[in-house]
Structure formats: structure tokens, C-alpha cells
Amino acid sequence: MIPPMLGTTAPFKGLTVAGLFAGIGGLEYGLHAAGMNTQLLCEWWEPAQAVLQHHYPKIALHDDIQTLEKLPAADIVTAGFPCTDLSQAGRTAGIHGAASGMIKHLFELLERSSPQWVLIENVRNMLVLDRGTAMEYLISQFERLGYTWAYRLVDSRFTGVPQRRQRVILVASRSDDPCGVLFADDAGEPQEDFYRDNAFGFYWTEGNTGLGWAQDAIPTLKGGSGLGIPSAPAIWVRDAPPGRAIVTPTIEDAEALQGFPRGWTEPAQQRGRASLRWKLVGNAVTVGVSAWVGHRLTNPGTPSLDRSSPLPQAARWPTAAWGKSGERWVLDLSLWPERHPYQHLLDVVDAEAAVPLSLKASTGFYNRLMKSRLRYQEPFALALKAHIEHMARS
């Protein structure tokens, strides 16, 4: 079910939101589905601004967090800050890189305001990059400001979308317990037979050290490939004939795989080339993830903290942890807090309408794969070779 657009005149009774580093509004869109009302959006990139202005015309839009003097009196402040310097596909310059380092402005603003909640989202690599320096910085800043904090790594597939996307969700508050938001649910990861075996996602820009292989799903949508090319992943449709067995989803498919309505990023084409839509979608927050957090923010549950154990100093950051006043605890939880009805990959992507992977892209990937020591299914390699031969003849 698609919630009504943000900025409508319908009355709201829920919490209010200020969205920093808003992108195309993935966090705010999901929170809106939970009954919340966004008061402010802050986003600097013009293609993203075009999307926000089109869908959220009645909401104030600020263009640069560096010049934002103060926050409105909002209950929730969101910050899906740039992952460019944190992700494996990015520069991995770290939390103090030119892009990801912008998060420091959030803490400057929090020194002068008192929201009930702060909500942050970012890539899994943030837990391990530079021995966890990024997480240590975030947690230390929250503790300095007197916040209780909790974070959890989640997989977007729990929301029902066929995209294997693992992201860190961090919630902090001076007045409330974030553990009741993030730790009250744990459905456990499904068994392998949960997924169909008729389609497999992979990244054609890889092939040397990895495939991004995903059964009945695509690997993580990302803003750009390791080659710096905004690109779609590819899909092997196992029983399809040559020429139709190796295909790529459309940008509209990608929007649906993130939980947005199809065509959500089309307004971005007013401010740049159409391919930028892939970067916008790849950098977004999966709508279902933020909707789950939003529902728990308004209705916290009871976490099972008796399974917590102290987090040793200088230890690696686990997949779930919480703390306050310098005390830190680890909790063993799955990446699936809930288990929504699953949309199988070929129910979202129309394999007949999908674009075949080009001859050049297929050949480059196949050559890298053959030179690598990666393990892969032999029928996949045969299908890829047959696809290349078909495309060459065509």
C-alpha cells in the first residue's frame, strides 16, 4: 500500500520530522507511512532536489546543511548521510572524508536542539572500515551529547522486496529507550527454500573478486559500480532462451525494488542526464525499512536485553549493539526483525521486458570470471556464454 504524499493537507497526529541528507526521501516516505509529518527537508544535489520538490511541494527544502542555522522543533531528525567515503563501492576515505564528514554538522545542530529521536542510516561497511572508526565517531558524539543509542544491521529483504541490501540503522534519544525501537522484533532469517531458484542477481561490473550473487533477489542497488559507472545489476533467468537469459532491470524496476512507486525519480531528468536516476535510487533508503522503524518509534516494544553482553573496548562492532554513558552492550539478533510477504524477483522484474545485457558488458564480465578463482554454478557460465554468442550474431 502506497501512503499519501508528504506535504498534503491531510491532518497529522503523529510525530514531526526534519530530514537531513534527504536524498529522494526514502526515510521520510517510510516515516510518513507510519503517520508522521515532515516539516523540513535538506538536500544539496539538484537532481535529488527536483525529486523532492515534485513529490513534496509543500515542505520547506533547504539546499545545504552547512548553512542550516537551526533545526525546527521536530520530534525526529533523520540523517541518511553520504556513504561515498564509507562504502566498498566508494572511496573508503572514512568518516572524515569530504562527503561522509558532513555528518559533523548534524551534531553541531543537535547541540542547539532537543529532538525526541535521531535516526541515522548507512552502509554495513561503516562497522568495519578503518577498524570501526566511523561507528566510534558516531557513538562517541551521541554519548558526548547525553544520548542513549542503539543500532542494528538489517536486510531490506525482510520488508518483502527482492533486494539483498544490508544497512545499519542507528536510533538515539536523550529521553527514550531506542532498544524498544530496534530490538523488540526478531523474525529470524528464512531457510534457503524460502527463495525460488528461477532467477539469480549478480553484478556484471564485478567478476574478479566477487559476483554479488543473490538467489531470487538482486544484490545491493548502488549509486555506482567499482568502475565509477552508475549501473544496474544483471539477472540470470535460468530457464530463458539465449538472448533473454541475461538481462538487466529497468530504472522503474529499481525504484520498486527500493519500495518506491515506479517513476519516482523521473523528475530528476529535469536537472541532469537520465542515468543519474540509478545513483539516486542506489543511494536511497528502502522505504519498508524506514516504515518499520517509524511504526516502532510511535509504538516501542519490549526488547529482550537479558541476552546482552558487555562490548569489550576496541572490539569489532557487532551487528547489533546499544549503550549509554560510556557503557556498551552487544546483542545477538538476526538481520530480519520482521518477515513481510516476499515479492519474488520475477514478480517485480518482467523478464520479457527487461533489457538484455550488452555484448560488451557480457563479454567483459565473462572474461573476468574465467580468469578468476570464484566459485559459480556451471549452468550460469554456460548460459552467459550462450548469451554472448547470441548477442554477437544479433
Which residues are known catalytic residues?
83
Distance CA(141)–CA(212), nearest Å, equals: 34
* Coil, helix or strand at residue 11: coil
Nearest to 155 by CA among 282, 286, 255, 318: 286
Cell of 340: 513481510
Contact between 56 and 5 (Cβ < 8 Å): yes
Which set of grid coordinates corresponds to residue 283? 543511494
Please state, in angstroms and rounded to a whole number, the distance separating the CA atoms of residues 300 and 236: 41
Helices (H) and strands (E) in the chain, counts: 11, 17
**Which of 258, 261, 247 lies closest to 281 in space, CA to CA?**
258
Spatial separation of the C-alpha atoms in residues 394 and 382, rounded to whole Å: 18
C-alpha cell at 378: 556451471
Backbone angles phi, psi at 369, to 5 degrees: -65, -40
Q: Indicate the SS3 state at residue 270.
A: helix
64 burial level (CB within 10 Å; 0-12, 13-18, 19+) = exposed
Dist CA 94 CA 132 (whole Å)? 9
- Rounded to the nearest 10°, the torsion over CA 27, 33, 36, 37 is 80
